[in-house]
Amino acid sequence: MSQNFLVDPRAVESIVRAAEPSGVVLEPGAGDGAVTVALAARGARVTAYEIDPLLAAKLSARTRADGGIRVVRGDFIKARAPREAFAVVGNIPFSRTAAIVDWCLNAPALTSATLLTQREYARKRTGDYGRWSLVTAATWPWFGWELRASVGRDSFRPVPAVDAAILRIQRRAEPLVGDRAAFTALVELGFTGVGGSVRASLRTRYRGVDAALAAAGIAPDTVVGYVHPEQWIAVYDSLTS
């Protein structure tokens, strides 16, 4: 089940500090409850999801007296998102990272997601390699992506093959773009790789691409991964104004 339990109290504190928990918090992959208990101690009302029936039973018994914790035996991905504002916080199974992130991005009432992921994943999604992914660029007008503290592999038992990092996804108070479908279509077209450059891809559907790229500071031969999310917004504004 890709279970790597967090045994370093400093790492747990780093997650909780990054999450700034309050109100309703959903926790994917609660495991033995190290993060669960820490979140509740900060005043959050935690619904902890654990797919392993034995672990879920143990955590439920351990936290039965804590009114701020509810343990659900089941798959977080299949959970229905709350209608009220809520956050997601957790040391998630690395093998389920993409699915959990996608669930979070599609939950209308989500305010933030603070997730302990593989360090490489967190770096890719936050532009730490100097390149930007489709997921980040396409959601940037609605969500900020931040790389927070790194967590070494020795903080887990069993010890995984890779280090981890805290990925913070924060919903913006006001979207930077009005039409989500149109912006997403533009970015997805740019990432198709048609013609080998952003310019070539966008010219298959839009007029005025050269002027829009120049205004955004993007060279004509730029590879799509090197276009900053803010530049995508500038291009969109130019092409749709």
Q: Quick one: DSSP state of residue 4? A: -
Regions of the chain where pLDDT drops below 70? 1-2
pLDDT of residue 3: 76
Contacts of 211 (CB under 8 A, 6+ apart): 238
* pLDDT (tens digit per residue) in 14-35: 999 999 999 999 999 999 999 9
pTM metric for this prediction: 0.95
pLDDT of residue 1: 53
Backbone φ/ψ region at 193: left (φ over 0), alpha (ψ -120 to 50), beta: left
Beta bridge partners of 164: 118, 151
Q: Quick one: DSSP state of residue 194? A: G
**How far is Cα 174 from Cα 198, in angstroms, rounded to an integer?**
27
* pLDDT (tens digit per residue) in 99-120: 999 999 999 999 999 999 999 9
